[in-house]
Amino acid sequence: MRAKRTPLGMLGPMLRGVCFDLWGTLIVDPPGLGAKRAEERVERLHNALHTAGWGAPLEAIRDAMQATVDAFVAVHQENRDIDAEERIALFLRHLDPSLRPERDLGADGYEAVRDAIHDSVIYCLPGLLPGAAEALESLSEHGVRMALVSNTGLSPGTALRTVLDELGIGRYFASHVYSDELRAWKPDGRMFDEAVFGLGVRKEDSFFVGDTPEADILGAQSFGIGGTALVGTKRVEGVQATLTLDGVHQLVDALVERGHLASDP
């Protein structure tokens, strides 16, 4: 299928920077992996708490994790985020308001709890979407600087950097922007501003690639980025990207066709 095209907007003739969303754009969980990761997280938390001398039933841990996720959603609706340590505190508060980590878990116990939550995306690795690595390699050969801009869930940016390295694509990104580290949540313009600043390019000479119409495409457009590419199957009436693609595997060819990359690097 050929890319659907719309007027380019502000993007100049040649592209200097591309910012990528992560989940649904470059990586994805195969069917069933998310549920497996959630259960593995609960079991690791159960073992960590038990070893630290704080017995908690599996069901209580599941309930506390769900309450923590629900609290995240409420925060994110305000286009903001909380940092990695605040996430752990939130979980422990939902598990038992009387629990005091320093007193009841000790340094080793707290670290084991933190690792069980933060590293869940590492011990249950997602997979690359078809053509993702090839697209990044081609853009690199064209001399385009790239940034990764991701809203984060239970696993913070520190863990996602490891994931990118494990999947062999971390080396492509000159700038990493994660919501827990910036305490902002796409579509907040601070996420996009930090990315292009980290690349050292003008926003007008950059493209944003993502799979979510509101957070990725509208967010980038409101910030004033030069062009946008919506990849995947999500569509929202009234949200129109510069390029609408079936997947990231089509990105480089579409940019070459539009004249924003040379046909040969």
Q: How far is residue 241's CA from residue 213's CA, in Å, rounded to a whole number?
A: 8
Does 250 reside within a domain?
A: yes
The model carries a pTM of 0.92
> Over the stretch 112-130, which tens digit does the pLDDT of each residue have?
999 999 999 999 999 999 9
Q: How far is residue 18's CA from residue 25's CA, in Å, rounded to a whole number?
A: 13
The reply to whether 103 and 148 lie within a common domain is no
Evaluate whether 232 touches 247 at the Cβ level (below 8 Å).
yes
- Asked if the model's pLDDT at residue 4 lies above 60, the reply is no
> Over the stretch 93-110, which tens digit does the pLDDT of each residue have?
999 999 999 999 999 999
DSSP 124: T
Which of 89, 123, 157 is at the close of a domain? 123
The reply to whether 23 and 144 lie within a common domain is yes
Does 244 reside within a domain?
A: yes
- Determine the pLDDT at residue 5: 40
Q: How far is residue 159's CA from residue 100's CA, in Å, rounded to a whole number?
A: 25
- Determine the pLDDT at residue 11: 52
Strands, DSSP E only, in 73-204?
A: 127-128, 145-150, 173-178
Which of 123, 152, 175 is at the close of a domain? 123
Does 263 reside within a domain?
A: no
Length of the chain: 265
The reply to whether 9 and 58 lie within a common domain is no
Q: What is the mean pLDDT of residues 180-184?
A: 97
CA distances for 101 relative to 46, 49, 68, 92, angstroms: 15, 10, 17, 8
The total number of structural domains that make up the chain: 2
116: which strand partners?
none
Q: How far is residue 90's CA from residue 69's CA, in Å, rounded to a whole number?
A: 10
The residue among 41, 49, 95 whose CA lies nearest residue 71 is 95
Q: Determine the distance from the C-alpha atom of residue 57 to the mean position of all C-alpha atoms in its chain, rounded to a whole number.
A: 31
User: Could you tell me the residue range of the domain that residue 93 belongs to?
Assistant: 33-123
- Asked if the model's pLDDT at residue 9 lies above 50, the reply is no
Which of 123, 144, 178 is at the close of a domain? 123
Does 65 reside within a domain?
A: yes
How does residue 13 score in pLDDT terms, banded at 50, 70 and 90? low
DSSP 260: S
The reply to whether 80 and 132 lie within a common domain is no
The reply to whether 113 and 137 lie within a common domain is no
